[in-house]
Amino acid sequence: MKTIAAFDRIGEENAFAVLARATDLAAQGKDIINLGIGQPDFQTPQHIVEAAIKALRDGHHGYTPAAGLLATREAVVRRTLTMTGVEVSPDSVMIMPGGKPTMFAAILMFGEPGAEILYPDPGFPIYRSMIEFTGATPVPVPVREEKGFAFSADEVLGLITPKTRLLILNSPANPTGGVTPRAEIEKLVRGLEAFPEVAILSDEIYDVMTYDGEEHTSLLRFPEIRDRLIILNGWSKTWAMTGWRMGWSIWPQQLYPLVRKLAVNCWSCVNAPSQFAGIAAIDGPQDDVGKMMRAFDNRRRIVTEGMNTLPGVTCATPKGAFYAFPNISQTGWKAKKLASALLEEAGVALIGGPDFGILGEGYIRVSYANSEENILRAIERMEKFLSETD
């Protein structure tokens, strides 16, 4: 059997492989502390779970419209208004089975051999994987520590060529925790006016997760690019719902019928009870989100402080999401080797920076979706490991 070449090019998300290995080691009786996985270590708030159970009991067992239930799309409209001050139409909102399908849809719409797609490096690994799948040329946009892991408008604009079809942005960012300041985004939007053919995919899945008064700036705030802007967002991170597979996206008028057709062809719709849960998440009390964010904020300080005490390691204070991206270039280790040795020998799971791109060498990603106690234990183990292997 010979499958098409695109499947030789499709990549992986190594966080899942690390999780599998960590689970294996734990099953063998090893004490593993997992700072690898990008999912909140909190349960979905109970009122959201109850809404799904109620929907099932009330008989919501069938297909829904491919774009999602109107009530769920209207909830997204309300949430978008609260977060951005912008009122979008429910007929621009797609309910998707997670955040990833929006990425997939947007990249499929613009990726083909000869096309160039700009994406953040280091960044979420699926961007590059999907770009390569389509045969388009992936063009990394550097996200640098010296710039607080924000993208630079000048650098992005300098990489645009007549072949550029799509620009992918992500702030707050995975894996760095970087938040791009409003002034930089404004500058980018002004510059993009010279390139009206370039579509923009803004991955805002961590929008609520900023710290120290840092403000998330949604690209939706700029009407001048609305006719070519796709917003990716979802329930996975904010309401600790990674396993529910619930995301949403906001599309320009021209693209909306296309993504709706893709949904009809691929997944028909997101399951109905999850869509009811999604409404409860948006409209219900946000106390649990607040509690989670306070916990993340405390852990963020512990991680940053702890990483900075390790020999050869420096760690910038992350401004968003729930990741730190310590610089390990002075330890003498290559990042992936270090991540693997820490897992196998010290029982600490984290991800090597190169799993997020070429510029990830010299860094590791630490997810602080774990208890303060475990984070402190992990830091102790890393200290011991790095001192002994010095």
Footprint of ligand PLP (CB under 6 A): 38, 98-100, 124, 170, 174, 203, 205, 234, 236, 242, 247
For ligand PLP, which is the closer residue by CB, 49 or 376?
49
For ligand PLP, which is the closer residue by CB, 278 or 347?
278
For ligand PLP, which is the closer residue by CB, 94 or 379?
94
Name the minimum Å distance from CB 107 to ligand PLP: 12
For ligand PLP, which is the closer residue by CB, 40 or 347?
40
Name the minimum Å distance from CB 38 to ligand PLP: 4
Name the minimum Å distance from CB 194 to ligand PLP: 27
- 65 exposed, middle or buried (CB, 10 Å; 0-12, 13-18, 19+)? middle
Name the minimum Å distance from CB 8 to ligand PLP: 24
For ligand PLP, which is the closer residue by CB, 242 or 370?
242
Name the minimum Å distance from CB 205 to ligand PLP: 4
Name the minimum Å distance from CB 380 to ligand PLP: 27
For ligand PLP, which is the closer residue by CB, 234 or 278?
234
